A and B are shown apart, each in its own frame.
Chain A
Amino acid sequence: MNVTTTTDVDKLTLTTTAELSASLERTWQLVSDPRKLERWWGPPEWPATFVRFDFETAGRAHYFMQGPDGEKIHGWWRFVSIAEPRELSIEDGFADEQGEPSGDLGVTTAHITFEPIEHGTRMTIVSGFESVEQLEEMAKMGMQEGMRLAVGQIQQILDES
C-alpha cells in the first residue's frame, strides 16, 4: 500500500493520503465501526478501546489506550460532521477516566475523506494542530513514550537472557 504524507508549517497541518484496496462502504466501516476503529487507532503497544461511541453529528466518543505496563491514557472525540460514506470530521483530545475532556494539551482535529478510485478507495486525512506550543508538548509526550518503550524492551531482553 502506498502512503504519502505532506506537512504545512503555515497551517500546522499534515496530510496523509493512502489508496486502500477495498470498496468505499468497507473503508467507511474503519471509522464508523468502533470494533474496526480500535484495531488501527492505537499503536500495537498501546491498543485503543472505545467505551462510548455516539456516531452522530456533535456526538461524543470516549476511548482509552492501554500501555504495556497497564497504564491507561483516556481520550475523547467529538464528531464535528459526518457525511456517510465519504467524509468525517472529528475533534480529539485527552480525557479523564469518565471520558470528560481534561483540557490537557488542547484539541487536535482530523478531517477524513474517502473517494472511490478504480481499484478501491483513496483516503485523505488532514490532521490539524492548534498552536506550535501544543505541537511541541504533544511531540515531547510521544517521544517520552517512545523512550519508555525502548527502555521496556531493553528490560525484556535483559529478563530473557
Chain B
Amino acid sequence: MFRALADATRRDIVTRVMNEGISVSRLATSYEMSFAAVQKHVAVLQSAGLVSKERNGREQIVRGNLSSIHRIQHLLSHFEEVWKQRALRMGDVLNDDD
C-alpha cells in the first residue's frame, strides 16, 4: 500500500514539474507527508534521470527531464512488443492443444 502510494506520489511529482520548475518546498506542501519524504521521492526520480534539480538561492528547483522520459518510454515500448508477441503465442499454444 505504502509502495503504491509512494509511486503515485512520484508520478504526480513528475507530471507537475514537466511544464515548469517547482521548488521542493512548494512540492512538499501538496502532499500529506514530511518535507524529507518528498525530498526522498525527488532523489529517487533524480537518480532515475527523470528530473533534475538546481539551486536557486535558498530553494531547490525541480524540473522534469522530458528527453530522458521519452527515451525510457521508447525503450520500454520495444519490450512491449516482445511481451505482446509472447502473449499471442501463448494463446496459439492453448488453441493448438484444444
Partners in one complex: yes
Write the residues of chain A forming the contact surface with B, with a CB cutoff of 8 angstroms: 1, 3, 5, 7-12, 14, 16, 18, 20-22, 26-27, 30, 36, 39-41, 43, 123, 125, 127, 132, 135-136, 138-139, 142-143
Nearest 5 A-B pairs (CB), nearest first? A40-B89, A7-B76, A18-B87, A16-B83, A5-B80
B79 within 8 A of A: yes
Q: In the docked arrangement, what's the CA distance between A36 and B71, Å?
A: 35
- Identify 11 new A-B residue pairs, CB closer than 8 A, beyond the known A5-B80, A26-B94, A125-B87: A3-B84, A7-B80, A10-B48, A11-B7, A12-B48, A16-B87, A39-B89, A40-B93, A136-B75, A139-B79, A142-B82
Give the tally of cross-chain contacts (CB within 8 A).
Answer: 96
Give the chain A neighbours of B78 by CB distance below 8 A.
139, 142-143
Q: In the docked arrangement, what's the CA distance between A12 and B14, Å?
A: 14
Give the chain B neighbours of A135 by CB distance below 8 A.
72, 75-76, 79
A141 to chain B, nearest CB (A): 10
B10, closest chain A residue (CB): A10
A78 to chain B, nearest CB (A): 19
A117 to chain B, nearest CB (A): 14
Q: In the docked arrangement, what's the CA distance between A140 and B71, Å?
A: 13
A133, closest chain B residue (CB): B49
Number of interface residues of B (CB under 8 A): 34
Chain B 29-49 near chain A by CB (<8 Å), digits 1 or 0: 000000000000000010011
Q: In the docked arrangement, what's the CA distance between A136 and B71, Å?
A: 9
Contact A18 B69, beta carbon cutoff 8 Å:
no
Q: In the docked arrangement, what's the CA distance between A132 and B50, Å?
A: 10
B25 within 8 A of A: no
Q: Tell which of B68, B88, B91 has the most Cβ of chain A within 10 Å.
A: B91
Give the chain A neighbours of B7 by CB distance below 8 A.
8, 10-11
Interface residues in B56-98 (C-beta closer than 8 Å to A): 68-69, 71-73, 75-80, 82-95, 97
Give the chain B neighbours of A40 by CB distance below 8 A.
86, 89-90, 92-93
Contact A139 B48, beta carbon cutoff 8 Å:
no
B36 to chain A, nearest CB (A): 20
A11, closest chain B residue (CB): B7
Contact A41 B50, beta carbon cutoff 8 Å:
no
User: Given that A9-B50, A123-B87 are contacting pairs, would A132 and B72 also be in contact in the complex, using a CB cutoff of 8 Å?
Assistant: yes
